[in-house]
Amino acid sequence: MSDVWTGLVGQEQAVRTLRTAVEQPSAMTHAWLITGPPGSGRSNAARSFAAALLCADGGCGHCHECRTTLAGTHPDVTVLATDKVTISIEEVRGLLQVAARSPGEGAWRVIIVEDADRMVERTTNVLLKAIEEPAPRTVWLLCAPSPQDVLVTIRSRCRPVVLRVPPAEAVADLLVESDGVDRDVALACARAAQSHVGLARRLARDPEARDRRGRILTLAGSIRGVGDAVLAAAEVVETAQAEANAESGERDAAERRRLLTSLGAADLATLPPAVRSQVRQLEEDQKRRARRRQLDVVDRTLLDVAGLFRDVLVTQLGASVELVNTAHADLVRSLAAGSTPEQTLRRLDAVAVARGRLAGNVTPLLAVEALMVDLRPQG
pLDDT in tens, 217-236: 999 999 999 999 999 999 99
pLDDT over 70 at 138, yes or no:
yes
pLDDT over 80 at 244, yes or no:
no
pLDDT over 70 at 291, yes or no:
yes
* Residue 56: predicted pLDDT: 92
> How many Å is the Cα radius of gyration of the chain?
23
User: What is the arithmetic mean of pLDDT over 33-49?
Assistant: 92
pLDDT over 80 at 246, yes or no:
no
pLDDT in tens, 250-284: 778 888 888 888 888 888 888 888 888 888 888 88
- Mean pLDDT (the chain) is 90
pLDDT over 60 at 69, yes or no:
yes
Separation in Å, CA 242 to CA 18, 39, 203, 282, 286 = 40, 23, 17, 21, 15
* Residue 379: predicted pLDDT: 58
| pTM check: above 0.75 | yes
**What is the spatial distance between Cα 344 and Cα 366, in angstroms, rounded to a whole number?**
22
Separation in Å, CA 317 to CA 283, 321, 336, 352 = 51, 11, 9, 21
Domain-wise residue ranges, the chain: 12-162, 168-221, 226-375
φ, ψ for residue 302 (rounded to 5)?
-65, -35
pLDDT over 80 at 149, yes or no:
yes
> What does the angle CA 201 – CA 8 – CA 128 come to, to the nearest 5 degrees?
110
Q: Which range has the worst mean pLDDT, 125-134, 168-177, 283-292?
A: 283-292
The domain over range 12-162 is classified in CATH as 3.40.50.300: yes
Percent of the chain with pLDDT over 70: 99
